[in-house]
Amino acid sequence: MANARVVIGMLGLDQHELGAIAVARMLRDAGMEVVYAGRFNTPESIVQIALDEDADVIGISCHSWEYVEYVPELMKLVAEKDADVSVVLGGSVITPADASRMKQQGVAAVFGPGAESADIVGTLADLAGARQARVSMG
């Protein structure tokens, strides 16, 4: 398997990027390629970056409640553009009810406060490996 390629960013006006930066470093240390999109993204810009970079996974950092509005739009765009990319969420404000709702809308994984590094790395590696296998089979 090639190195996993992950786009990490925040949607809307969420400015709390320390968690995203920490996760980006953790993923790089685990051998993954990380494209850091930073703050103030739209669903459209995140999907376009993922397509341009041939990303395996989109990671959205959620530390404000805007994700509740933006993630459904992001998932709709992923489907409309037929993007073969998994979306994962992580952050301190994600409630169990919202996590369940986001998964019902197609989000592959949700990591809340206290998520273990090994779980995050392992899940993203599995998602990336599954996508890379699909791509290689044509």
* CATH number of the structural domain spanning residue 50: 3.40.50.280
Domain housing 13: 5-136
Amino acid 66: pLDDT: 83
Amino acid 98: pLDDT: 92
* Count of domains observed in the chain: 1
Amino acid 1: pLDDT: 59
Amino acid 13: pLDDT: 82
Greatest alpha-carbon span in the chain: 39
Question: Which tokens is 4 given?
Answer: 């996993």
CB atoms near residue 11 (< 10 Å) = 24
Tens of each residue's pLDDT in the chain, 138 residues: 579 999 999 998 877 889 999 999 999 999 999 999 999 999 999 999 999 999 999 999 998 878 889 999 999 999 999 999 999 999 888 989 999 999 999 999 999 988 999 999 999 999 999 999 999 997
Kindly tell me the sign of the dihedral angle through the C-alpha atoms of 85, 86, 91, 97: positive
Q: What is the spatial distance between Cα 6 and Cα 32, in angstroms, rounded to a whole number?
A: 7
